[in-house]
Chains A and B, each alone.
Chain A
Amino acid sequence: MDSKKVVVVGCGRLGSTVASDLSANGHRVIVIDTRESSFDKLAQSYSGYKIVGDAVEYQTLAEADIDDADFLFAATTEDNTNLMVAQVAKKFFNIGTVVARVYDPHREVIYKDFGIKTISPTRLSSDVFQNIVS
């Protein structure tokens, strides 16, 4: 399998799981979080980079060597942070595909028009539940 360069912003439950899994599957991973203690959630086997910094600051991204990454996943707990980081990454850092996690389904609809791919846990959970019901 092809090894990809992937940036994960936000090392919470979702971010740490995604980063750990990608790393275990042989991808080159850079994970960014404002708090160093967040990296405790990464799997023991995680072998990627860990960067402490606020990804909303341009300089954090500039210093994190994220240029030319194949993917960036903005997975912090704040919708607006994810939407901003995704747009900055796409516009300034030549990243192939950027994806933002967005809780609010209304905001998700708006950002489809911006060429930002979004994942909405709210929407996904609702869809799964609808399937179970029907």
Chain B
Amino acid sequence: MRIIIMGGNKTVYFLAREFIRQHFDVVIINHDETYAKEFARKTRATVVLGDGTDPQMLAEAQARECDVFLAMTNKDQDNLVACQIAKNNYQIPRTIAVVNDPDNERVFKELGIDIAFSATRVIGSIIAQETTFDTIKAMIPVAQGNVNLTEIAIEKSSPAIGQTLAEIDLSEDIVVACVIRDGHVVIPRGSTELRLNDHLLLISENDETMPDLDCFIKEKKVFDL
């Protein structure tokens, strides 16, 4: 797997380090000479000094044999143009952009970028989830963020204790994928009765609203973000 990363902050450095550990071929494009030199010294990535939005620069980075192009500069316009050139001139199969303005997630997708996400939005949504429910242990977006995998705990106040899954009035857009009891997996059936301290893994579509979990959780919202 060969990946080109355009950008130059700490995140890029740690990502590159992580990818190299996973035996990816990593190429970094950065226009800042000091940064490029330091990067070359600190990692085993190939470092190309130049503007990643310049079509000739991408040729130098051997973009043709590349699987993923990741644009992570702090300028959305540069990320867009670099991804478009990568896709259209070098046929890189996956182009990914980290956008700064959350509105640009939608804009980039419309303009042909495979994956675009905003760190602002991701962090914002984590904070919103964390402050909304304590009983939600984790919420992980999967399938490019379209699906949420949510872990919740059945606490003392839960109205679901003692009820079977068949009895619980669960909204139609949520599936109970797994019950975790004492560290073991219980495959959920209609007859499975929920107990205190069970953890549930739920799958739901990510439509930006919290799934309706009233049947499992009885808790006040801390704030409504």
Chain B 54-80 interface residues, beta-carbon cutoff 8 Å to A: 54-56, 75-78, 80
- B204 at interface, CB cutoff 8 A: no
Q: Are A57 and B88 in contact, with the CB atoms below 8 A?
A: no
Q: How many residues of A contact B (CB 8 A)?
A: 21
Q: How far is the CA of A87 from the CA of B101 in the complex (A)?
A: 16
- B164 at interface, CB cutoff 8 A: no
- B85 at interface, CB cutoff 8 A: yes
- A107 at interface, CB cutoff 8 A: yes
Q: How far is the CA of A58 from the CA of B84 in the complex (A)?
A: 18
- A43 at interface, CB cutoff 8 A: no
A107, closest chain B residue (CB): B55
- B157 at interface, CB cutoff 8 A: no
- B148 at interface, CB cutoff 8 A: no
Q: Are B104 and A58 in contact, with the CB atoms below 8 A?
A: yes
Question: What distance in Å separates the Cβ of B6 from its nearest Cβ neighbour in chain A?
Answer: 12
Q: Are B54 and A92 in contact, with the CB atoms below 8 A?
A: no
Neighbour of A106 across the interface among B55, B80, B101, B104, CB < 8 A: B55
- A132 at interface, CB cutoff 8 A: no
Q: How far is the CA of A78 from the CA of B75 in the complex (A)?
A: 11
Question: What distance in Å separates the Cβ of B50 from its nearest Cβ neighbour in chain A?
Answer: 13
- B224 at interface, CB cutoff 8 A: no
Known: A106-B55, A106-B56, A113-B88. A81 touches B107 (CB 8 A): no
- B169 at interface, CB cutoff 8 A: no
* Complex interface bits, B72-102 against A, C-beta within 8 A gives 1, otherwise 0: 0001111011001100110000000000010
Q: Are B55 and A91 in contact, with the CB atoms below 8 A?
A: no
List B contacts of A113 (CB < 8 A).
Answer: 88
Q: Are A91 and B54 in contact, with the CB atoms below 8 A?
A: no
Q: Are B56 and A80 in contact, with the CB atoms below 8 A?
A: no
List A contacts of B76 (CB < 8 A).
Answer: 56, 84
Q: How far is the CA of A60 from the CA of B54 in the complex (A)?
A: 27
Residues of chain B having any CB pair with chain A under 8 Å: 53-56, 75-78, 80-81, 84-85, 88-89, 101, 103-104, 106-107, 110-111
Sampled A-B contacts (30; CB under 8 Å): A56-B75, A56-B77, A56-B101, A57-B101, A58-B106, A58-B107, A59-B101, A59-B103, A80-B53, A80-B75, A80-B77, A80-B81, A81-B77, A83-B77, A83-B81, A84-B76, A84-B77, A85-B77, A87-B80, A87-B111, A88-B107, A91-B110, A106-B54, A106-B55, A106-B56, A107-B54, A107-B81, A110-B55, A110-B85, A110-B89
16 extra interchain contacts, Cβ-Cβ under 8 A, other than A107-B53, A110-B84, A113-B88? A57-B103, A58-B101, A58-B104, A78-B77, A80-B53, A83-B77, A83-B80, A84-B80, A85-B77, A87-B80, A88-B111, A91-B110, A106-B54, A106-B55, A110-B88, A114-B84
